[in-house]
Chains A and B, each alone.
Chain A
Amino acid sequence: MRPVEPVLSVDDLRLSFQGIQAIAGVSLTLASREILGIIGPNGAGKTSVLNCINGFYRPQRGRVVFGGRDITRLPPHRRAALGIARTFQNIALYPGMSVLNNIMTGRVIRMRSGVLACGVYAGHASREHVAHRQVVEEIIDFLEIEDVRRHLVADLPYGIQKKVELGRALAMDPQVLILDEPMAGMSADEKADMARYILELKDVRSLPMILIEHDMGVVMDLCDRLIVMDYGKKIAEGPPGAIQRHPEVIRAYIGEAAEGPAAH
C-alpha cells in the first residue's frame, strides 16, 4: 500500500563530480513509520544520496521534498532544524567531549536562550538547560549507556560510540532519522541491541528512517522496503522478500561472470 503523502521524497536526483556520475536519476519516497533500506555494492552512490538529502551535496538536477516543502536549496543546518537527523559511516562524534555533552549538542537547536542569558545563566537559561538535560538523560537510559555518561567518547569502544551517535541524533527530536551503516563493525550482540533500538524507535516514536547497511540479515529483518543501487542508479525497489529474488540485484551482488567480460 502506497502512502498518499510521503514524509520525505527525492525526485530524479542527479549528481556528478567533475564529470563522474555519482547519482544518475534516483527517486525515492519515505512514508511515515517506515524503515527504508538502501543497499548496494560499495561506491554505488548510497551515501551520496544521503548527502543530498541532508544538504552536504547540491545535486545538479532533481528535488528533495521534506514535509511538503522543497528543501533542495536549503543549507544543511536548516534541514537539520526542520527535523532531518543523521549518523555517519565513520562516527562523527566529538571525541574530546563526554558522552553527556555529545548528546547535549543535539539539543542545542532546541534551546532558545540568548547569548546574554547564557552568559548570566540565571533564571530561564539555567532552567532551560536543566529541562534539556532531563531529555538527554532519558535518551541515555533508552540506549542503556548510563555507566559511561561521563566518559570521554574517545575512550569508548566502537560499538558504544555508535550508540552515542544515535543518541545525539535522537536528541534533536527528529522527524526523520538517516542512519549510514549504523551496525558496521559491531559484534553480533551489539547489532542485536542496535536493531532493538531501531525497531523501538519505529514502534514507539513512529520515527521514519532511512538506513544504509551491509549486513543483509539485519536489512531483511528491519526494513519495510528496500532500494537497491548500483553505479548511481536505482536498479530495484520493493519489500525485502521480493528484492532477494530480483535478478538485477543478484547480478549486481554476485556479478555477471556468466555473461559479461572478465569479472574483476
Chain B
Amino acid sequence: MSVRPAGDFKTSYVQDMAILDTRLYRLGFAMLVAGLLLAPWWAGRFIFLLNTIGIYAVGACGLGLLTGFTGQISLGHAAFMAIGAYSSAFLSQALRFPFLIALPVTSLITFLFGVVVGLPSLRIKGLYLAIATLAFQFLTEYALIHATGGIGSTTVPPIVIGGWTVRTDRQFYYIVLVVWLAAGAFAANLVRSRIGLAFMAVRDRDYAAQVLGLDLLYYKALAFGIAAGYAGIAGSLWAHYNRLITTEQFNIGASIDYVAMIVIGGLTSAWGPHLGSAFVWSLSQGLQIFTPAVLAVFPAFGKIATPLREIVFGVTLIALLIWEPGGLAMLLRKLKRKLDLWPFAY
C-alpha cells in the first residue's frame, strides 16, 4: 500500500497525478537540475563522465519503456543505437544535414526499424523474443561492418547549431543535458499517460489487455519503435560526441550493458534508467581511478589490474541485486517512505 506524507493534501486530480507529487520532491528535483546545470563548474575533467551517463541514460530510457513497462526483453538495443549513430553520421556527413534536423530524422529512422523488429513480437514471446533480438543485434553488426568496409572507423562532423560549433566536452554537455532532460520527461509522461497504462496492461496479462480493447501488435510494435527511437537519439549524440565511431562500440556487450543498467536502476520506475546509467558508468570510472591507487600501494597486484576491475564490478552488481532485486529506484522508494514517516516507524 502506498504511504502519503502527512499534511500534504491534494485538491485536484492534476496534483494527484503529478510526477513530483510533494513540495519536498519538487524542491529536490529543482536542486538536482540546478546541480546538473552547474556541472561544468564542479565536475571538472569528469564532465565527460556526465556526457556518457547522459547519453546512455537516454538510450536506457527507451529500453526501460520496452522491457520494464511493456515486458519485452531486447538484447538488441545497442543495434538500434548503432543504426542511429551511423544514420546520423551519414545524414550530417554526406547529406550535410544540420544537427537539429539530423537528430529527429535519425530518431524517426530508428523508430521505423524498431517497429519492424517489433512486429514478430506478437508471436515470439519472452526469452524466445530475447534471442530473436539477439539475432537482430548480430545481423546489424555484421551488416554495418560490411557496409562500412571493414573494421575501420567512421568520422562524424561536430555539431553545428546556427553557426555555433560545439567543440569542447563542456559545450557538448549542455546539448546532452537538454536532450537528456527532455527524453526523461517524455518517458515519465508516457508512463503515466494512457500509453503507459496500455504498455503495462500488455506486459502483465496480454489476454486481459485484449479484452480492454488494446491491440497487442500495435502496442508492442509501438514500444519497440519508441525504444529504438530513444536508442537512435543516444546513438546520434554518441556519434557526434566521439566523432569517431566503430561497430565495436555497439556490440552485444553494449546491448547487455543496457539491460544491466535498467535492471540495476529499477525496471518499473521512470527514474530507473537514469540511476542505472549513472551507477554503472560511475562505478566503472571509479574503478578505473581506484585500481591504480591500489596498485601504487600493493604493486604485487600489477598483473591483475584489469581483471580486478571486472571482478569488483561484478561483485558490486551481485551484492546490490541480492540486497535489493528491485534496483536502485526501489532502494530510493524505501528511503523515501522512511523519510515520509520519520520519526515514526509506520
Contact = CB atoms under 8 A, between A and B. Distances in A.
Interface stretch (B154-162, B188-196, B252-260): B188-196
B204 A155 contact: no
B213 interface: yes
Nearest to A136: B13
A65 to B, nearest CB: 19
B13 A120 contact: no
A250 interface: no
Contacts of A54: 211
Interface in B205-222: 205, 207-216, 222
B143 to A, nearest CB: 28
A118 B213 contact: no
Contacts, number: 112
Given A80-B211, A81-B213, A109-B213, 12 more contacts: A80-B210, A80-B214, A92-B207, A93-B208, A94-B205, A96-B268, A97-B204, A101-B200, A108-B194, A115-B222, A115-B226, A118-B196
B17 A133 contact: yes
A166 to B, nearest CB: 13
A96 B267 CA distance: 13
B275 interface: no
14 contacts: A76-B207, A80-B210, A81-B213, A85-B211, A88-B208, A93-B208, A106-B212, A109-B212, A111-B194, A113-B194, A118-B196, A119-B195, A151-B1, A152-B1
Contacts of A95: 204
Contacts of B204: 94-97
A168 interface: yes
A172 B189 contact: no
Contact of B197 (A92, A105, A125): A105
B345 interface: no
A86 interface: yes
Given A101-B197, A108-B213, A121 B189 contact: yes
Closest 6 CB pairs of A and B: A118-B193, A80-B213, A109-B213, A121-B189, A119-B186, A76-B210
B81 to A, nearest CB: 20
Contact of B194 (A81, A85, A118): A118
B214 A77 contact: yes
B38 interface: no
B198 interface: yes
Contact of B13 (A101, A134, A152): A134
Interface string B246-288: 0000000000000000000000100000000000000000000
Interface string B1-28: 1100000000011101100000000000
B1 A150 contact: yes
Contacts of B12: 130
A238 to B, nearest CB: 30
A109 B214 contact: yes
A104 interface: yes
Chain B binding site: helix, strand, loop or mixed by DSSP?
Answer: helix
Interface size class of B (residues with CB under 8 A): 35 or more
Interface of B: 1-2, 12-14, 16-17, 186-187, 189-190, 192-198, 200-201, 204-205, 207-216, 222, 226, 268
Given A108-B198, A168-B212, A172-B212, A115 B190 contact: yes
Contact of B214 (A85, A104, A108, A119): A108
A91 to B, nearest CB: 9
Contacts of B16: 133
A126 interface: yes
Contact of A126 (B14, B196, B205): B14
A246 interface: no
Contacts of B208: 88, 92-94
A94 to B, nearest CB: 4
A61 B207 CA distance: 23
A98 interface: yes
Nearest to A116: B186
Contact of B190 (A96, A109, A118): A118
B333 to A, nearest CB: 13
A94 B12 CA distance: 26
A76 B205 CA distance: 14
A78 B192 CA distance: 24
B48 to A, nearest CB: 29
Contacts of A121: 189, 192-193
A142 interface: no
Given A77-B215, A81-B213, A121-B193, A92 B205 contact: yes
Nearest to A86: B211
A129 B2 contact: no
Contacts of A97: 200, 204
Contacts of B197: 101, 104-105, 108
